[in-house]
Structure formats: structure tokens, C-alpha cells
Amino acid sequence: MNRKLNDRIGRAEGNIERIQKDPNLLKDAFLSTVPTTLFVLLPLFAVLLKVVYLFKRRIYMEHLIVALHSHSFLCASLLLVLLLDALSTWTSGMPWLSRPLGWLEFALIAWMPVYLLLMQKRVYRQGWIMTLLKYCVLGMCYVFLISFGASISLLISLVSM
């Protein structure tokens, strides 16, 4: 096991030299691990929902469906944001078109947390104060999970290139 670990560390050191020559290698390797990371985080987010809404008497599968809906909404929204960003970059010479695309991109980014809050309020049917409190707690926990998952993905990308 120690030899295998040393081999991986040596491989990572060699990959760092390759990354210094071409930084796109790490970006491409990292982006290839993002779907797997989100797939792993999906049931963990459902567990968080189960813990936060422990007294709502809902089964885990219901929380998993909410988590799947949230993740798919965020992925679709981020795809649209990236497309709008690319369009506004391509149309930078035409301010009459690129400026409204930038506004639309901003509006979509602002809509994502609002939609998730409204969805959580509607699904779990609690008052605004409890929903906001639980939304903030879930948000902080999920940011921690995403950060941890991204760090692990980055390390895996560094070793697997």
C-alpha cells in the first residue's frame, strides 16, 4: 500500500510539471470528474435534507427526489449561464445584443437561489422563518460538501492525468 501511495505521489509530481506547461490539462481533468462528484453528493444532500426535516415524517426517497430536482435545476441553469456568457463574449462588438445577454445572465444567476428557496418552501410546507433558517443551514452545509468534493476531485484529477 505504501509503495502504491508513493507511486501515485510521484505520478502527481510529474503531472504538476505537465500542468505548468499546459494549464488546460488540469482544467480538463477536473471538469471530467465534476459529474461523478455531483453524483456522489446527491445522496449526501438528501441525507442533509432528511436530518434538517427529521420531524416532517418523509421517507428518504422523497428527500432524494428533492435533491435530484435541485441538482438538475442547478446544472441546467449553470449550463444556460455558460451559454449566455459565451454568447455575450461572441457578441461583444454589438453592445445592443451583448448588454441584454449580460443582464439575462445576471438575472438567471440571481434567480437560482430564489427558486431553490421557493421550491423548499413549497415542498416542505413550513413557515418563512423556519424555511429561511433551514435554507441557510442547508446552504452552508452544502457549500462545505461542494468544497470538500471539489478538493477531492482536484486531487483525483492531479493523480489520474
pLDDT tens per residue, range 73-83:
988 998 898 88
Closest by CA to 154, choosing from 10, 19, 3, 1, is 19
The three three-digit cell numbers of residue 70, written as one number: 435541485
Tens-digit pLDDT profile for residues 113-133: 999 999 999 999 999 999 999
Q: pLDDT band at 102, cuts 50/70/90?
A: confident
Tens-digit pLDDT profile for residues 21-72: 877 777 777 777 777 888 889 999 999 999 999 988 899 999 999 999 999 9
What pLDDT is stored for residue 133 in this prediction?
96
The three three-digit cell numbers of residue 146, written as one number: 461542494
Q: What are phi and psi of 116, to 5 degrees?
A: -65, -35
Q: What is the pTM of this model?
A: 0.77
Q: Do residues 82 and 108 lie in contact, with contact meaning Cβ atoms separated by under 8 Å? A: no
Is 19 a residue whose pLDDT tops 80? no
